[in-house]
């Protein structure tokens, strides 16, 4: 059994940068909703794309949560 294959039902983040993810989430959801979904300071206190990227690039657990939120939300944007 080959465990390297991802399930076909799971969307891929290939070609999507972290900046694109944060920008689209902030435009579609707003910072307040993002902060409610993932309560991290970069979303709840004076949020910006720049500060969010800096934090998320250094914090793998938060980045995974943001990527998962993006995958859930992006289904509704199509």
Q: Is the pLDDT of residue 8 over 50?
A: no
The residue with greater pLDDT, 45 or 6, is 45
Q: Which domains does the chain have, with CATH numbers?
A: 24-77 (1.10.720.30)
The residue with greater pLDDT, 9 or 37, is 37
What's the per-residue H, E or C state across the chain? CCCCCCCCCCCCCCCCCHHHHHHHHHHHCCHHHHHHHCCCHHHHCCCCHHHHHHHHHHCHHHHHHHHHHHHHHHHHHC
Say if pTM beats, i.e. exceeds, 0.75.
yes
Query: What is the structure's pLDDT at 5?
Result: 52
pLDDT, one tens digit per residue, over 31-78 is: 999 999 999 999 999 999 999 999 999 999 999 999 999 999 988 876
The neighbour count for residue 44, using CB atoms within 10 Å, is 14
């Amino acid at each position: 059994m080959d465990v390297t294959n991802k399930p076909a039902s799971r969307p891929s983040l290939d070609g999507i940068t972290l900046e694109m993810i944060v920008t689209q989430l902030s435009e579609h959801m707003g910072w307040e909703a993002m902060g409610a979904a993932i309560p991290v300071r970069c979303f709840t206190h004076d949020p910006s794309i720049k500060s969010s990227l800096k934090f998320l690039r250094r914090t793998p657990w938060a980045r995974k949560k943001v990527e998962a939120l993006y995958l859930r939300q992006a289904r509704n944007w199509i």
